[in-house]
Structure formats: C-alpha cells, structure tokens
Structure 1
Amino acid sequence: MASERPAPVRRPWWADDLAHAAMFLTRLPVPAPVRTDRPLMHAGWAFPLIGLLTGTLGGGVLWLGASAGLPMLAAALGALAVTAFLTGALHEDGLADLADGFGGGATKERKIEIMRDSRVGSYGVLALVLATGLKAAALANIAIASPILAAFAFAAAQILGRSAILPIAFFLAPATSSGLGTGAGRPKAVTTGLCVALGTLLAFSLLPGIGFIAALAATSLAILATALLAQRQIGGYTGDVLGSSEQVVECFVLLTLSALPAGAAGFLWPL
C-alpha cells in the first residue's frame, strides 16, 4: 500500500505573512511561509511587528545593562549590538552600500554597480560609524534621565524604522529591473496603509504625548529625505535604499527624542 502523503500545512494568512517578514528581516529560526509565491512586500504590513520584537529585546538589554550599573553608553551599544545580531546587520549593510554608491559613483549605473559590490568602502565605513555613534549617544542621553524611557524610545525607533520601508517602496519606482528591491514586489496601497497605521499605533503605545508627535515628525522627515535623495541619485529605490531608510529613521527618531527636555511632561507615561 502506498504511503499516504502528509496533510498540507495550514496557517492563517496573517501568521504566514508574519513568518515571511520575520524570516527575511531577522535571523531568528522561524517556520517558512506556506505561500512561497507571495511577494515580500505584500507581507510588509507585519514589518512594524518585527520592529517591536527586535526593539523589545534590544531595549531590554539596554535597561538591564543600565540597571546593573554599566555606563549608559555601554548599555546603549549593547542594545545596538543585540539588534544587529538579530537582524544579521541587514539594515546596516544597506546603509553602508548606499553610502558607498551615492558617494563614490558619478552616474546612476556606476552608483548601482558600487551598491551591488559586497565590499565596504570608506563612505560605507564612515556611515556605519556615524550612525552607530549617533544612536548610541542619543540612547545614552535618554537613559541618563530614565533607562526604561530609553528602552521604550529604542523600541519605538525600531518600529518606526521598519514602518518606513513600505511608503518608500510604494511611492517610488524600482531603480533597476533586477535585484532585491524589484524581486520583493511592490506593496499595495492597503498593505502600505496598514503598515503605517500599525507602526503609528505601536509607537503611540510607547511614546504618547510630545514624544509621539516628535517621533512621527522625525520619521516623516527621514522618509522624505531618503526618498528625495534616492530619486535624485538613481531615479528610484533598491533594496539598499529600503534597508538604509530604516537606519536613517532610527537616527532621526532617537536624536529628536534625546533633544527633548529630560522628563518632559507627556514624553512617556509617568514612570
């Protein structure tokens, strides 16, 4: 008698999308999505949830380090190291490639060629050093006022950073006919709207009041700056543009929050 075939795996569409997003944006062991033909961007509504996961884990490390008596800067660097490990430095790699391409290429074709090169140049190294230093300094400054506030701010920045990816992919066109940016597909309007709404709601739950308004303003400015720069430099987006947008948003959000007066009323729920 022929052996019976195992029953096909059944999973709710939202769980499949979440698995797809987690498998791409992190290095965590997650079950593979059942629908392998569904483009990544169609599951992009779940990106803010991945940001919540990485931000919570990284923020927890920051809070634990600060509570254990570590220097605030060391605790902040620990949080950044944890999230880079969880994501395989995916977004940092995009930032480095974008800096090398935009800084070293004279034409659109040359910029894209440099961005596709796996080697990191001087512009890329400088971009990573500046981004890491700025984020660590901002987190340390917030943590001086309250380590738990810094942990919440970090989680919100991670959420908003990943929420920025879909709007750029929706409003810009792919800069090339191949590569990750094109292969991931174009997000639908409803998917983009859901991603932005979910990211906004999650950020508000962590940063109500003036902190929430400041973070949203910083996110909007970072998205606009990244989109305009990419359009001017290469006429659209690539996977590196989308990845770097997450890092740019994180920097803008954390720097903005760190500039608010310590303990400002409404920055966070009373602690």
Structure 2
Amino acid sequence: MIIAVASGKGGTGKTTVASSLALVAAEKGEVRFLDCDVEEPNGHIMLKPCWYKKETVRVPVPVISREKCTLCGRCAEVCAFHALAVLPQEVMLFPTMCHSCGGCWQLCPSGAISPGWREIGQVEEGTRGEIYFVHGRLNVGEAISPPLIEAVKERIQPGVLNIIDAPPGTSCPVLRAVKGADFCLLVTEPTPFGLHDLKLAYEMAVKLGVPCGVAVNRSDGKDSLISQFCYDNNIPLLFQLPQDREVARGYARGIPAVEMRPEWKERFLALLAFLEKGGYARCAK
C-alpha cells in the first residue's frame, strides 16, 4: 500500500504525522518512508536514519553545436517554457527553465541540438530499524523538482507499506508526489486558513482519483470547521491530535510525537487498521 501524507499548506504537522505513522507501523513490519518534499526535506530530522547510499539525479538539457546551428529559430518556437532564445549571433539556453521535453533536439532541422545532462539534486537512502528511508535534496537554485520526486518514488516497493511525505500545497510537485497513491491522508489544522487549504488539497486528491481522509493536528477538541466540511463532503475524519506543548518542544529537538506521547500510538494503530480493512477503498466510492 502507498499512503501519501499531504496538506494544503505548510506548517500543519504533515511530517509530524508521517514520521509517527512510520514508527508505529514499523513495530508490525517493514516500512518505506519516502520524503518527497525535496526542496526542504525534514523527515530525517525526526527519524534519524543511518545513511548508506547517495545518488546524483540528472535531467537532459539541450547542447547546441555552433558549427551546425543556422540560427533558424525553430528550437525557440517549439520550446513552450521559453528556455531558448535565438539572438543574431547565438542561441542562449536558460537551463533552469528547461523541462527536458526533448522537442528542441527532435525538431531541429539542421541536427544542431543533442541531449546533454545537468545535475539537479541527490537521492539519499538510509535505514532506521524496520524503516527504509529515502529522500531527495534539490540543488539550491533549481526551480523544477518533479524529476527528483520521481527518482525518490522509484524506490517504492510492492508488498510493504510505503509512506510518502509530500511537499506542502497543491502545486505540481505535490501532484507528482500524490499521484498513484492508494490513499491520501490530508493533515490540517482547525482554523479558517486550515480549512481553506484543506479544500484545495481535497480537490487535488479528487482530480487525481486518490481516496482521502483527514487528520487534524493541534486539535481544539471540537474542530467544528473541519468536521462540518468532512461531513458535507463525506470524507472520513480519521483522527485528531490535540494541541500539546510537550510535543511541540519535542519537535523542536527532533523527537517524534509518538515518542513524546506514547499514548498517541493507539490513534495511528486505528488508522492502520482502517486502511488494512479496506477503508481506503470505501473512501473511493
């Protein structure tokens, strides 16, 4: 099973929930934790894996032969992302704007463009007990993260529980992280801002065809705004984690919530039982 943990905004407690879920699930068997928030990964701060492998991720970019180029401008015409500009004496490439579609080197009439490679980041792998951990680190200044997210997701393994810690928001990187998951756990907070972004995240999951449920972090015990939205849209409200100063202090020191509050394990065990019994399939109907 592949569970994506997502949120419509940053700071709701997505990594708090994902890391605690991984620790509780690891007591029952092997777990894979994939931190796809490649612009600012922080799952490793909570889970503290022992690293054993690093791999560079590259993407194709055009390499232009000055000898063959006729400055016809065809490459700039076909580039939907404006990564190429044809000047009177040369062709300029803006590599961080290139999406590696390959249109320029496939359609160049003089065959002056060939694919080269550019490094965008690294994938690092490690372990903590029964948890296999992998995350991506996007190079500073890079604007396009989906290829690195895909490289992280290539480590998904059938037959075990895979937990994806998605980036915040509802932009392209989040879509790439959540796409293909069996279930999406939407983490929110019981505030008007939390509700606004929860709606966006829910719409994203619906568009992707991924069944979802809601977890409330920093719950006030009522969560009336979130509860009403879940009721109106027939979304399961799976669990609520109360506002807890000790958990916040532990988070600041890199200590997972379930280690600060062991009694919270029951909430995550209930979530796992819900999914194991096919609850995610019922959510899709």
TM-score by structure 1 length? 0.29
TM-score by structure 2 length? 0.28
* Larger Rg over CA atoms: 2
Which is strand-richer, 1 or 2? 2
